[in-house]
Amino acid sequence: MDEASRITTVDEIPEDSSFLFTVRDGFDLEEAILVRLADGVVAFENYCPHWTDVRLDTGSGAEMRNDELVCTKHGATFERDTGYCTYGPCEGATVDEIDVTVAEGVVYLTDDDYEFEQTGPSGDHDLSSRGRIGFSGN
Ligand code: FES
C-alpha cells in the first residue's frame, strides 16, 4: 500500500462515532468520514443528502444511535454500512461512499477520484457552528 494514501489505523476509529478526514479532488478539498463495521471499515463523504452543505461529522464525530449515523440537523438516520437513509426528510437517499481498504490494521484511501490530504476537517468550516456555513446558493 502507498504510504501517501494512509488515513489512520482501525483502532483510531471510534466504535460509536466517526473519524473525520479530508481528501483532495483536484483543487477542491472534501471531507469524508470513516465508520467502523463489525468486519471492517467503510468511508462516506461528509454530508447529509437532505441539505448537502450540512456535515454529518462537524469535527467531533458523527452522532450514532441504534447503530445508525444520525444527522443532528433534522434527525435523518443512515445505515452505518451502506449510508442509506432509513428515516427522515431524505429517506431513500444514500450518502456517497468513498473506497478505502484495510491492510494489517491500517486504513488506506483507494478511491481513484481522491487523494488523501489530512486527518481532521478541511478547514473550510467554522467548527463552532452546526449551521449552514458557506452555503453558496448554487
Ligand atoms: S440536513 Fe440532515 S436531515 Fe436535514
* For residue 138, pLDDT beyond 80: no
Total number of domains in the chain:
1
Q: Which pLDDT does position 126 carry in this prediction?
A: 56
28: which residues sit within 8 A by CB, 6+ positions away?
none
**133 in a domain, yes or no?**
no
φ, ψ (nearest 5 deg) of residue 75: 85, 15
Tell me the pLDDT band of 6, cut-offs 50, 70 and 90: very high
What is the rounded distance in angstroms from the CA atom of residue 117 to the CA atom of residue 23? 5
CATH number of the domain where residue 66 is located: 2.102.10.10
3: which residues sit within 8 A by CB, 6+ positions away?
none
Best residue among 68, 73, 85 to mutate for probing ligand 1's pocket (most ligand atoms within 8 Å of CB) is: 73
Integer angstrom CA distances of residue 125 from 51, 58, 94: 15, 8, 23
Best residue among 46, 54, 69, 86 to mutate for probing ligand 1's pocket (most ligand atoms within 8 Å of CB) is: 54
Q: Is the CB of 76 under 6 A from ligand 1?
A: yes
Q: Which pLDDT does position 127 carry in this prediction?
A: 52
Contact yes or no for 83/96 (Cβ under 8 A)? yes
**126 in a domain, yes or no?**
no
What is the rounded distance in angstroms from the CA atom of residue 32 to the CA atom of residue 82? 14
pLDDT in tens, 80-124: 999 999 999 999 999 999 999 999 999 999 999 999 999 999 987
Domain holding 77, by residue range, is 3-117
The whole model's pTM is what? 0.90
Q: Is the CB of 56 under 6 A from ligand 1?
A: no
pLDDT in tens, 12-69: 999 999 999 999 999 999 999 999 999 999 999 999 999 999 999 999 999 999 999 9
**100 in a domain, yes or no?**
yes
Neighbours of 84 (CB within 10 A): 16
